[in-house]
Structure 1
Amino acid sequence: MDNLDTQVLAAAQRWAAAGHRFALVTVARTWGSAPRPPGAWMALRDDGLVQGSVSGGCIEDDLIYRMRAGEFSGSGMQLVRYGVTQDEAHRFGLPCGGTLELVIEEAPDLGALAQMAERIAAGQLVQRRLLLSQGSVEIDGGRAGNALSWDGETLLTQHGPAWRLLLVGAGQISRFLASMAQALGYQVFICDPREEYASEWDVPGTTLLAGMPDDVVLELRLDPHSAVVALTHDPKLDDMMLLEALKSPAFYVGALGSAVNNAKRRERLREYFDLSQAELDRLHGPVGLPIGSRTPPEIAVSILAEMTAVKNAVNPRTVGMAMEADPYACRVG
């Protein structure tokens, strides 16, 4: 499953190959409430077709109208604002106080887009620099954690897999989880020393790593933009990996299993591996939000939902207090 950057780039390249003109629209800045964050972008074709989004739809409708009217048929860049007045915010369906500032590239650099697509397909982060007054674009290597920058003249945006996810276990849950995670901008790695599972792994866009999971964790040098999920149900594989992952700066470490099994796992980690209470408290287990998931795709959704909440600094457990009354509930496997 392609992420949003890949979808926009693929559409732009298809349209260019078919002889269509198109513009690129990027959210440079927002004030108050806004439907899409800075950095969100979309491709807008000369006949009104769109790929990606910069709002909930009303602003896209206006941009489509203006594109068809020939407003974006030049070769430069322009700055457009929506929601400056209360009447305009109401007209375009923006939340109270919402304002968007958009940079519109009327004739995007096709060479730069091809370079971006190639780098992202190779799993690389890309930094895109737009120079508004010059109407030029520069492509360079990106870096995880770099924030969008906009000073009214130069717009810097990051594209590609800004986050990393290591899945331990190449089973059915991992297949769904890997595909969904790629759509959310994760570079996905799989580790499973069990040949019966690893030999059948064939999810496109992921990287299968050889070796024991704890060694792989050390080799990847996990950072605050990394997540790890143990999915084997085998303490010999999961526990040793968790020992290293819980000591790392990874923003999320989870393990499959019921509340009872995870309590036993925590006790093993405390007794035999001398992990501190603070390190043990970082373990998300049972992994995932309690949404009643039973099937592999449902479990994958619950895991990604919890990962997203943690990444966005939202307490994911506030929605699942009712499940704590039943510690034997194996919410996700």
Structure 2
Amino acid sequence: MQHLDLQVIERALVWSRQGETIWLCTVIDTFGSSPREPGSWMVVRQDSQHIGSLSGGCVEDDFLLRLSQGEFDCPITVVRYGDNDAAQRPNITLPCGGILEVLIERLNPAPPIIEHLETLRDTLLGKYHLMRNVHLASGSAYFSDDTALGPKVVQDVQQGIVKIRVAPAKRLIIAGISAVSAPCAAFAVTLGFEVIVCDPDEAASKAFDVPGAHVKAILPSTYIASGVCHSGTAVVALTHDPRIDDLAMIEAVRTPAFYIGVMGSTQTSAVRTERLIRSGGLKQEDINRLYMPIGLALGSKTPAEIALAVMADIVRVQYGIRIGDL
């Protein structure tokens, strides 16, 4: 199952190539509690087919109704939902009590638009780190290089530009099937990761059943070495089997993955470090990239608790939070 952002942009590309006008909706600001974070996308075509989401359903329903009534015919519209003082109608109270500000772009199926969407797709696939700049007065959009950390959406009020960071879609590669693999995959799917589980045991791979996770009956190291890791990728080895875990680590440190972790006790991790240096040819800087023992120290005992600790640590690293700041 692909990450939702990638699904949205790939569907937008398909519809544009078919000659359809589309509306790309982006959450650009939130106030208080909100169902989706800034940068969340939904794409819609004229007959109300859509993919992605902006809220729990009420915002989408209002948008589709108003679109069917001929609204949003301008290149750019900004609508605020949940604000009693907003001039737009109708006024919608979000279930969470928050406020959403949504950027709505009407995109004709012209070659420059298709090329723009292709760049968005390639960025989500890990080829670039870009800032998407949308000019609110003209509706024009262009890309600029972006390697900095910061908010997903920045509004430059003076210039009248909305700046949206576009980075590779979140991906989790789980090396090996164990009791921890299924709850870890389930947590990751819920968190919006594209999840790939690799194990050379065909019977175990066939029996693995987590909705939304994609299973490959292949040695994880072989899959990782094929070039599937980008900077939005986390790799976790969860089997306690050095034949799977060690090889996965050796290949993963050669990639730009932002998180590489392997399960095991402190003593096991020390032994693994010696083994990876001695037999795997890893250097100390490679070892420093590995999170082992994997996961936050939550006192986890059960497979689900260990999976929770693993995913919590991945999210921590993803957002640049240091252990001392928790």
In the superposition, the TM-score normalised over structure 2's length comes to 0.63
Q: 1:233 aligns with which of 231, 240, 251?
A: 240
Q: What pairs up with 1:192-231 in 2 under 5 angstroms?
A: 201=218, 208-209=224-225, 227-231=234-238
For 1:285 and 1:134, the matched residues in 2 are separated by 47
**Which residue is 2:118 aligned to?**
114
Deviation at residue 14 of structure 1 after TM alignment: 2.6
Aligned pair 1:283/2:296, yes or no? no
CA distance in 2, matches of 1:290, 1:59: 41
1: distance between equivalents of 2:66 and 2:121?
A: 28
The answer as to 2:265 corresponding to 1:262 is: yes
Is the Cα–Cα contact under 8 Å of residues 170 and 191 in structure 1 kept in the other structure? yes
Displacement of 1:11 in angstroms is: 1.8
Q: Is the partner of 2:265 in helix, strand or coil? A: helix
- Flag the 1:123–1:81 CA change in 2: closer, same or farther, 3 A: same
Contact 1:230/1:255 (<8 A) preserved: yes
- The Cα shift of 1:130 comes to 0.7
Q: Distance in 1 between matches of 2:53 and 2:27?
A: 9
Corresponding letter in the other structure for 2:294: H
Greater shift, 132-141 or 114-123, is seen at 114-123
Query: Residues 253, 104 of structure 1: CA spacing in aligned structure 2 closer, same or farther, 3 A cutoff?
Result: same
- Pair 1:125-2:129 in alignment: yes
Q: Deviations over 1:115-168 (max 9, x none)?
A: 322443464434311111121011344437343311242112223425576766
The sequence identity of aligned pairs, in percent, is 30
Check 1:188–1:138 CA distance in 2 against 1; reply closer, same or farther (3 A cut). farther
Q: Give the letter for the 1:93 counterpart.
A: L
The offset of 1:112, in angstroms, is 0.9
Q: Which amino acid aligns with 1:138?
A: Y
8 Å Cα contact 1:22-1:44 kept in structure 2: yes
CA contact (8 A) 1:189 1:208 kept: no
TM-score by length of 1: 0.62
Q: Counterpart of 2:94 in structure 1: which amino acid?
A: G
Structure-1 separation of matches of 2:6 and 2:289: 36
CA contact (8 A) 2:260 2:290 kept: no
Mind listing any 5+ residue stretches in structure 2 that lack a counterpart? 206-215, 277-283
Determine the C-alpha separation between the residues in 1 that align with 2:218 and 2:121.
Answer: 25
Q: How does 1:143-162 map to 2 (within 5 A)?
A: 143=147, 145-148=149-152, 149-152=154-157, 153-161=160-168
- Tell me the SS of whatever aligns to 2:54: coil
Asked whether the 8 Å contact 1:161–1:185 carries over to 2, the reply is no
**Deviation digits for residues 74-113 of structure 1, max 9, x if unmatched?**
3x212111122189998432423x1111111122533311
Supply the AA of the counterpart residue of 1:308. V
Instruction: Decide whether the 8 Å contact of 2:265 with 2:293 is kept in 1.
Output: no
Which residue is equivalent to 1:327?
none
**Which amino acid is the alignment partner of residue 236 of structure 2?**
V
Alignment check: 8 A CA contact 1:168 1:191 kept: yes
Name the CA distance, whole Å, in 2 between partners of 1:306 and 1:117.
28
Larger mean Cα displacement after TM superposition, 24-33 or 4-13: 4-13
Q: How does 1:11-160 map to 2 (within 5 A)?
A: 11-74=11-74, 76-85=75-84, 91-96=92-97, 98-107=98-107, 109-121=113-125, 123-143=127-147, 145-148=149-152, 149-152=154-157, 153-160=160-167
Shift of 1:237: 7.4
Q: Does structure 2 conserve the Cα–Cα contact (< 8 Å) formed by 1:191 and 1:208?
A: no
Say if 1:123 and 1:160, in contact at 8 Å, map to a contact too.
Answer: no
Check 1:241–1:272 CA distance in 2 against 1; reply closer, same or farther (3 A cut). Answer: same
Q: Give the whole-Å Cα distance in 1 for the aligned partners of 2:247 and 2:47.
A: 56
Distance 1:52 1:280 in 2: 34
Deviation per residue, 1:196-241 (Å, 9 max, x gap) = x9x96399xx96328xxxxx9xxx9x98x76442345245875798
| Amino acid in the other structure paired with 1:13 | L
In structure 2, C-alpha distance between the alignment counterparts of 1:122 and 1:161, rounded to whole Å = 5
1:322 alignment partner in structure 2: none
The DSSP-based 3-state class of the residue aligned with 1:61 is: helix
> What is the letter of the counterpart of residue 58 of structure 2?
C
1:283 partner SS = coil
Q: 2:107 aligns to what SS in structure 1?
A: coil
Give 2:68's aligned amino acid: R
Give 3-state SS (helix, strand or coil) of 2:12's partner: helix
The letter for the 2-side match of 1:66 is R
- How many residues are treated as equivalent by the alignment? 283
